[in-house]
Structure 1
């Protein structure tokens, strides 16, 4: 390996229910794509359609263009539904005064209610105490008066909010089938279903100004400007929305309307408490028009609309077929009843106000349903272990010739075959009727979405592959030796260095209760831990599987991007045969692994899978179910949870309303200070700074703001107990030649065109710096990472640490990607460094934010063949000294995560994560730590 003296990075920038309605007993019962016409007009109009964009439109970033659907164009109209000429401004609506905070009396009152109820979530008793203390503090002030007299007054004010107000309703369901001679208890029980009118919820979403720049009014096809290849991102870019628009546009009354697909999602969730197990069955709603980033960020883009009933009975009857069929049909009948208010708008357009002030004619349609495999089987009324999308036989799911399921074919089979033949030959439960049969243009088999979290991560990865590795070890080495190896794998996982957003496993993976977050975290660190303990074919199996998963999570996928997952999937199928050869498993006919075959087609239909993943509904559980449940008194908790959710929605809607009217700028304190300053100074344009919290408590977070590819800055808080001069810092870091490194850095900054090595420049010509410096324990990296949890604009923030002590767990010196050649892509244009110190100094009026770091050398010119990850080791000079340098923070891209190359030797138990970078000689650059890192290093 050739050692290098130095590397020169280039500068780079970059508890009560309301409105109860007892409805009584509930009684229920791929075409070719036509060519798009880029020019179209509204029937009966001589003007070209104008909906804010042209049929051919340069897409985001000016690197793509779009062809919009010629029929459903989202043409603005008036309140009567008459289409408007081009350029017509929205009809004026009754404006609200800029000081109208109703139902609150002031900005302070709203901010207080929002803070207490939404963010701090303190109990009513503690709230009363807080308000009493506030009242006492104001008692000596003339006219001093607290905002609310008690918690009841604050709750009453929130309840009086009319913006975004959709009341909870309920209906009762009971069994109405044939009753046996000795009826069982569940046949007489009544089940309450609580819901909110989905029609009103959707209208509120369409009128929400928060989505102003993140709504698509038409289906479209998007292409790269460079090579005209197709690309898929948000839902309306998929073929399903276009084909539905083709069908709807055949009705001339629908021409020029806006198609609004209704996206549903449901998933049972459990809260285990000391008093027992509490199960809830929430139903969520979104619309296909909003962008994926809105849906993932939950900015009111995913709304809780119902709690479905969960019938229970005694053990004697729980396993009976009659009870199972009743539960399943109850699910479908409830969905049909909840969604019935949308039916009129599915057959005939209705006029609806939008967030831009225009009215539009809207036509609704049932869109995809977000669900895990068990829920998909329930939705499609199929037998477990069959595929919900195709007719592949359950014992031969790898059959590539299987036809796709469709509603017409299923109904024909139900008409022609007996129930047992349907069950055994086609996997159809003939007694059940899908809820989609009650709605026009709806085919449940075509509405099943890709589910990365439950099908792939929790299913194929954790439940299959990880378990197969343990079976392999026990089969090969016996239980005793296998336990030793598994303990070593756990120690390797526990020794991994912390990283922003990475869940730590202090005891490895040896715990019983797994969540989706646990499975996602294990995926990021598992591959290097098993290398050396399993054959290379198993390592390659995991690599192919992980690469398929991460490729599927890309925010934008092109035709080329769809070829890469196919190649990874082919490798996965090829290498996984090792498990069958070794006798660990007899068949790969597994529905969750089989579902991976359908992902390419599902992307073409629905856009990028990360916008329809069950991780969206699972994370929504925390806000809509788990946290509200913890705020209840646990007695008849559901009614309290409904009220809590309604108040949270009202507060969120009020904030959006106030912000859209320009009434929420800065903080309450800054507003008051500016007002006082204006009265004192007579200058209304001179804002005063207010106190604010600068540092985040976490290591990473999603942020809003303008999109930038990447930007790094030093933390705002300097360390007062650290060195204040270069010489002192050299002693602190044990780097005697640090002053020389500073001079070399200044030469690169002052004379960027000088290509000589700094050692060749005469010493007397070196620029010198002997002034004060400021030391920082971290730097803040902000970058565009829409495939990971991020803000609405796709921005994410993380902290890169270089601290001698961090959270009382020892030193923390993180690694980072540094741009060394911006002309090259990926790791070919970057190097890995380890940050030893962040500092800044000012020379000749210029402030230089810097980092002292050690270089890593790449092992080879390509990633490791088995793991697919780049390998690096610490770089040393020819005289065996650490290869150090000082760089400008603008050359840092973001943090990098390294995992040791453990090999076959067991890891000592005393190795702590904070010492991992010092205890090993070689490392993998972990491209699986998050999806942004994968895109960098892939």
Structure 2
């Protein structure tokens, strides 16, 4: 504008020179110069970069940039030119499907924002920490031209609407395994009978009322509310129904909880066996065992119609391909135990054609009350024919409460040795009584029908015992402090020997032979037990079980052995090595994240830490010690490597699918830990590593090969069952003769659950079998984390002005307008040269003053079995605000991992880059219609990202992590229309 209007001859000469330069450049590019384009003129200090900016920065045909009325304050006055694109605009279109979440951005404070408020409240003076590192922050830049464009490999986001379900996504992504079947008639049906639903229907069927024996749908729903609502007492139900007019207006046939219980007891069939009370007398004192018939429990699980489409009847060997070179392990039927046991069973007199039902037992004593020291000892059972993805869900009812074992401490016995012996004898006597009915069917078989009425010759065989170390010791009768699987000396538990950990087992046959002669030679049995370091129990529950090996049946337990065992020790060692103050201070410095718990008060002072909390600690543990200094200037390299290797083992152990290669990675990680564990001895923290739970980690690989992955067996599942089947049951009683009331409460709840299943089946009778069961019969990848689906709230959080979006005090998207202009230009014409692109950016004006913005982006995942959608992750993008109580909620702009140019791989960081989201917004429909050549295909939703430095080619050799840092921005003050914008990329 100045050159065109200036009468100065020098300015006129420069203007003509610029016109010639621009004309020649445009002619070479084959483009016509717009009539109203404005030429470029730079001050002397910017002359070196003038050839990069062929457009005048002070105005265009939309108006004079020096006139405030043109933009009315929508643009900042000063900007910085970054090196190598520290900010990029990504578009998230075609438009997202917002049908699932009506409004995720509600005004109420969510859990993550509550953490932010707590974080703000926790800002207090930090104590002096001797030896704390004081390393300056490095401002790094990517090499190369600071004005380098990032649009050479532009990509667009794949359509997200309509969203395919997770099952089809997974089936199309993961190859099905190559399966080698056992054959030999194993798992083949022998006859047919009436399906389970038809049997149940014959007892309750009413042609006019599918809810019978309940009179109506409303009465049925009231009954469900009364029986399934947590912490709802019978007194509360009675008081509600006693309100004048409630029963009449609802049309209920029962007037109180007692009448409801009578209705359930008299009219609903029992799908699971009732409990029976067995008195035990020891030393003149009576103890009570509440137990069920285990064979009836097995039948109930085997014929449950919900499980029928998924049951496994024969062992299989899974491989990645038909070369059978890489073995797969996941569900129990893919392990070696089922295959080997099937082979042993076929060699007996019964012959081929049998169907093994692996019995999985789990027990763990639990506290029922915080006071009075009231406890329960529930024993649970399930069968290995049910896939683990169903077994692990408490709502699937795949576990049955088999018994309440006695919890007496036998305080009337004064001698401690005698008392311990009595406790063990009573435990095994109760277990023998419970398991006795399955001894004969285990060998000879018994016909059982599944939920579809198909009959198999079933052999229920004891397979696994799941429990914490005290329960393992009690079941195996070994000496406390020894390994429950191998005969290694307790003083050598800390030594890692891969060969012995894989091949060496405790000897069972000599003990069983001695037990057979115990009546004639009790001294010989005692000597044999002492030699094997086993307690001389006369009647262990496993001695008569067919094809059972108690030592091989002990399974890995991630919860108690790793999280509550090894990790618990590791956290205490780290605290002692680094100091509690330093560790807690580093915990407070971590940024918030949806999937990471913030320990704002540190982790060293916590007591009664749960397994879930230890799992949360593991997410940050390595980050806490990255650059930490050890006492006496001892090198922290073995310290970090030991921690890293144990965390590697922990996470590898939890793989839902293992291969013969990944189990080797587990062994390598554990071997590396033992290689570097000497650092804890050097620091004076440990004298030895003779810890049974740490030693048992060396047996994890063979446990996986025998029974499948560790998520087949985890006390975490039974810990959850304690709430439903023990604690809730106890709270429903009047605390007098509680076990009788607890068992009746559970039986009624099971009847209601079975009837609810039947009602759902009656409602689906009109649906074709193909629609109902066709898809779920297909092969599913067991336990793999499903793909994430991106979803925005239906309505934006607010409408923000462009000024506030670009302001550093709010959203901080300071380069938003030029980045958006560049994206629009490239979308309209991807073949633009750099000079043409700069000119298009300059000639672009956004015809709006505000944008709709979102403060969070959710990633959902769909359960392939239930089709239920769950939140997998949330990205928070909001400036500082206040909650409903007026407390300050700090600004939060989460980091994301971006598939920068659609070249990212499923595994690793190749093609991906870390960035910080600054704003998520949409363009109004009118703007899209005006600015884009093809409005129907134009993107609508966008995110503005600040880049971190790119990943290096290799991770850190010690920690295995990649180091990134914020991109450094040069402080050159230029006009806002020449900020370096980014380009659309794919998530």
Residue 600 of structure 2 is aligned to residue 506 of structure 1: yes
Structure 1 length as normaliser, TM-score?
Answer: 0.74
Which residue in 1 is equivalent to 2:27?
Answer: none
Deviations 1:445-496 (A, max 9, x none): 111101121112211221x2223334445xxxxxxxxxxx312211322443
**How many angstroms apart in 1 are the aligned matches of 2:486 and 2:648?**
25
Aligned-partner SS, 1:126: helix
Which residue in 2 is equivalent to 1:816?
Answer: 896
Instruction: Please say if residues 195 and 338 of structure 1, whose CA atoms lie closer than 8 Å, have aligned partners that are also in contact.
Output: yes
Q: What count of residue pairs does the alignment treat as equivalent?
A: 769
Aligned-partner SS, 2:955: coil
Check 1:152–1:777 CA distance in 2 against 1; reply closer, same or farther (3 A cut). Answer: farther
Which residue in 1 is equivalent to 2:919?
Answer: 837
1:167 to 274, 278, 288: 274
1:233 to 317, 330, 341: 330
Aligned-partner SS, 1:172: strand
The farther-off stretch of 548-557 and 256-265 is: 256-265
**How many angstroms apart in 2 are the aligned matches of 1:404 and 1:758?**
75
| Correspondence 1:419-818 to 2 at 5 A | 425-462=531-568, 464-472=569-577, 485-509=579-603, 510-531=605-626, 532-534=628-630, 535-663=636-764, 708-719=786-797, 722-723=798-799, 729-730=805-806, 733-746=811-824, 760=838, 762-763=840-841, 770=848, 773-783=851-861, 797-804=872-879, 805=881, 809-818=889-898
**How many angstroms apart in 1 are the aligned matches of 2:642 and 2:916?**
31
Check 1:102–1:232 CA distance in 2 against 1; reply closer, same or farther (3 A cut). Answer: same
Which residue in 1 is equivalent to 2:224?
Answer: 114
| Correspondence 1:1-16 to 2 at 5 A | 1-3=140-142, 11=157
Which residue in 2 is equivalent to 1:332?
Answer: 428
2:312 to 181, 194, 216: 216
Instruction: Please say if residues 727 and 739 of structure 1, whose CA atoms lie closer than 8 Å, have aligned partners that are also in contact.
Output: no
User: Which has the bigger relative contact order, CA under 8 A and spacing at least 6?
Assistant: 2
**How many angstroms apart in 1 are the aligned matches of 2:693 and 2:629?**
26
Instruction: Please say if residues 5 and 877 of structure 1, whose CA atoms lie closer than 8 Å, have aligned partners that are also in contact.
Output: no
**How many angstroms apart in 2 are the aligned matches of 1:130 and 1:270?**
31
Check 1:521–1:823 CA distance in 2 against 1; reply closer, same or farther (3 A cut). Answer: closer
Instruction: Please say if residues 197 and 305 of structure 2, whose CA atoms lie closer than 8 Å, have aligned partners that are also in contact.
Output: no
Deviations 1:249-281 (A, max 9, x none): 22464533321101010111113434x111111
After superposition, the CA RMSD in angstroms is 3.8
**How many angstroms apart in 1 are the aligned matches of 2:489 and 2:379?**
31
**Which of structures 1 and 2 has the bigger CA Rg?**
2
Which residue in 2 is equivalent to 1:342?
Answer: 438
Residue 392 of structure 2 is aligned to residue 296 of structure 1: yes
**How many angstroms apart in 2 are the aligned matches of 1:830 and 1:633?**
59
**How many angstroms apart in 1 are the aligned matches of 2:300 and 2:831?**
58
Deviation at 1:321, TM superposition (A): 1.6
Instruction: Please say if residues 352 and 362 of structure 1, whose CA atoms lie closer than 8 Å, have aligned partners that are also in contact.
Output: yes
Deviation at 1:396, TM superposition (A): 1.6
Which residue in 1 is equivalent to 2:186?
Answer: 73
Give ranges in structure 1 of 5+ residues lacking alignment. 15-57, 82-88, 176-186, 474-484, 667-703, 893-938
Deviation at 1:777, TM superposition (A): 2.7
Aligned-partner SS, 2:551: helix
Deviation at 1:130, TM superposition (A): 4.1
Which residue in 2 is equivalent to 1:700?
Answer: none
Aligned-partner SS, 1:395: helix
Deviation at 1:713, TM superposition (A): 0.7
The farther-off stretch of 110-119 and 515-524 is: 110-119
Deviations 1:11-42 (A, max 9, x none): 2578xxxxxxxxxxxxxxxxxxxxxxxxxxxx
Deviations 1:29-72 (A, max 9, x none): xxxxxxxxxxxxxxxxxxxxxxxxxxxxx999443121111135
Aligned-partner SS, 1:103: coil
Check 1:162–1:861 CA distance in 2 against 1; reply closer, same or farther (3 A cut). Answer: same
Which residue in 1 is equivalent to 2:411?
Answer: 314
Check 1:862–1:550 CA distance in 2 against 1; reply closer, same or farther (3 A cut). Answer: same
**How many angstroms apart in 2 are the aligned matches of 1:883 and 1:637?**
72
Aligned-partner SS, 2:353: coil
Give ranges in structure 2 of 5+ residues lacking alignment. 1-139, 143-147, 161-170, 631-635, 768-781, 929-934, 974-978
Aligned-partner SS, 2:486: coil
**How many angstroms apart in 2 are the aligned matches of 1:796 and 1:856?**
26
Aligned-partner SS, 1:801: strand
Which residue in 2 is equivalent to 1:868?
Answer: 960
Instruction: Please say if residues 232 and 557 of structure 1, whose CA atoms lie closer than 8 Å, have aligned partners that are also in contact.
Output: yes
Instruction: Please say if residues 802 and 837 of structure 1, whose CA atoms lie closer than 8 Å, have aligned partners that are also in contact.
Output: yes
Deviation at 1:522, TM superposition (A): 2.0
Aligned-partner SS, 1:379: helix
The farther-off stretch of 217-226 and 420-429 is: 420-429
**How many angstroms apart in 2 are the aligned matches of 1:652 and 1:864?**
53
Aligned-partner SS, 1:828: coil
**How many angstroms apart in 1 are the aligned matches of 2:765 and 2:795?**
28
